[in-house]
Amino acid sequence: MNMSQCLRPRSIFSNTSRTIAVWVGLAALTAAAASGGQSRHINAQRLQGNLEKLSEFGRNPEGGVTRLGFSQTEMDARTYVMDLMKEAGLQVRVDAAGNIFGRRAGTAQLPTLLFGSHIDSVPHGGSFDGSVGTLGAIEVIRTLNDGRVTTRHPLEVVVWTNEEGPHFGISALGSGVAAGVLGPEILDRKDEEGLTLADWLRRYGQDPAHLTDARIARGTLAAILELHIEQGPQLYETKVQIGVVQGIVGLKRWKCIATGFANHAGTTPMNRRKDALAAAAKDLLAVRDVVREEPGRQVGTVGYMKAEPGAPNVIPGRVEFPVELRDLDAATIERMWQHIQQRFAQTDKEEGVETRCAVINDIAPALSDPSVQSVIREAARSTGLSTADMPSGAVHDAGEISRLAPMGMIFVPSRDGISHAPQEFSAWDDVANGTEVLYRSILKLDKQMNAR
């Protein structure tokens, strides 16, 4: 999809008055820019210290963390982060989906500038994905406090619930509920241990019957910003310091069950088998082939296969596997899925197996607001940082909230483009740069948005 086709023509800003308080902040910015354009307001050491502490929650011996959304480990990490929010003077509340908000009052009656990320991880993931944007947001508040800078808009730091989604198969869960794209239909979904999402919400101190109270009312947000690691190789390889995200891919995920017939592996002749794993293996390759068939940045993945009964001397009778497709264009995802289904049907016939798939997650592509992109670009340039415009192949909570308010994302480089793995790393200097850009972007948005 061509991004420029989708840019909204109107500017989100009007442009006249400003408060003394914002002047104080901007005067500081100007001073920083004048002194060579490189100096930062944010405290890089404090930020690194907090990130290192957060990375202790769920730390793995091989590096990185396992901190699944809806787990005791994440609950402990949430307590740590809420304490940081309180220390920063934020008024903390948790909504019915478990999303954490920390509010700093503004000087005017205006919609909220919302920014933050998530602290859950994939199994054996890295300690930068989500954590950088979350603790970067708290660092922005600490920096405003240190400089006694007030803003016209109220500011809220947010920590979204279960962004990654391996637990329950739903990515961007908390933000999806907040945006109104997910509702009570998800509550009965069960995890491996037989616990429902409703059970986990209760453990997180929430009443699942009130899930939809977490919906954010349209008009209450001025904008949503998210700082994040790129998770791909573009910035690192081109040595560009800041990525300005143009749009976030859509994602559709199915859970498929291939049903064959479990039988003796020694006595069942090869031509009389209904091997569900053999069929699923062909299905996996069909996904890869169909996705590769047309040019473009679309991707498709089968992330696991669970074969039952799972013994070396039994032909697998049942296999569960997910299919995940991503692209900036929802129509491309649908087209690929049609082809994949035809290939699955063909394999079923060949292998004597029946494969059924059901949608478990559907996230529409999201576009960044052009005016917010400009603000981020200017904020980076005023800090003396290079920028590149780029799409995001990962999904993000900010994408869901873009259904409600103008959205922008700031990316920083990921070493070797590695993410969702223990080797995930972003240089501390890059993390600090991204946080400074977030700080400056918030001040610029505060000045420019809803100005009278």
Q: Which residues bind Mn ion (CB under 5 A)?
A: 129-130
Residue closer to ligand GLV by CB (options 92, 418) is 418
Cβ atoms of residues 115 and 134 within 8 Å: no
Residue closer to Mn ion by CB (options 129, 436) is 129
List the single partner that 178 binds among ligand GLV, Mn ion, none, CB under 5 to 8 Å by kind. Answer: none
Burial (CB count <10 Å: 0-12, 13-18, 19+), residue 9? exposed
x-marked contacts with ligand GLV along 246-275 as a string, rule CB under 6 A: ------------------------------
Distance of closest approach, residue 174 Cβ to ligand GLV, in angstroms: 13
CA distance 133 to 86: 17
Residue 160 backbone dihedrals phi, psi, to 5 degrees: -80, 150
Residue 210 backbone dihedrals phi, psi, to 5 degrees: -105, 20
Residue closer to ligand GLV by CB (options 164, 230) is 164
Residue closer to Mn ion by CB (options 290, 394) is 394
Distance of closest approach, residue 125 Cβ to ligand GLV, in angstroms: 9
Beta-carbon contacts of residue 450 (< 8 Å; ≥ 6 apart) = 14, 110, 111, 152, 153, 222
Amino acid at 286: A
Distance of closest approach, residue 422 Cβ to Mn ion, in angstroms: 13
Distance of closest approach, residue 386 Cβ to ligand GLV, in angstroms: 25
Using rule CB under 6 A, residue 424 touches ligand GLV: no
Among 178, 279, 366, 394, binds ligand GLV (CB under 6 A): 394
Nearest by Cα to 366 from 391, 345, 334, 384: 391
Burial (CB count <10 Å: 0-12, 13-18, 19+), residue 14? exposed
CA distance 452 to 450: 6
Output Rg (C-alpha) for the chain, integer angstroms.
Answer: 23
CA distance 139 to 300: 36
Residue closer to ligand GLV by CB (options 153, 228) is 228
Instruction: Kindly determine how many residues on this chain lie close enough to bind ligand GLV according to the rule CB under 6 A.
Output: 4
What sign has the CA pseudo-torsion 363, 369, 370, 372? Answer: negative
Residue closer to ligand GLV by CB (options 74, 164) is 164
List the single partner that 395 binds among Mn ion, ligand GLV, none, CB under 5 to 8 Å by kind. Answer: ligand GLV
CA distance 209 to 198: 8
Q: Which residue is nearest to ligand GLV (CB)?
A: 394
Distance of closest approach, residue 226 Cβ to ligand GLV, in angstroms: 12
CA distance 427 to 416: 11
Residue closer to ligand GLV by CB (options 316, 399) is 399
List the single partner that 410 binds among Mn ion, ligand GLV, none, CB under 5 to 8 Å by kind. Answer: none
154-193 residues in contact with ligand GLV (CB under 6 A) are 164, 171
Distance of closest approach, residue 173 Cβ to Mn ion, in angstroms: 13
What is the residue-wise DSSP string for 380-400? HHHTT--EEEEEESS--HHHH
Residue closer to ligand GLV by CB (options 228, 377) is 228
List the single partner that 81 binds among Mn ion, ligand GLV, none, CB under 5 to 8 Å by kind. Answer: none
Distance of closest approach, residue 342 Cβ to ligand GLV, in angstroms: 26
Paired tokens of 101: 């908000």
Nearest by Cα to 59 from 118, 131, 117: 131
Residues β-bridged to residue 410: 227, 244
Among 178, 198, 262, 395, binds ligand GLV (CB under 6 A): 395
* Site residues, ligand GLV (CB under 6 A): 164, 171, 394-395
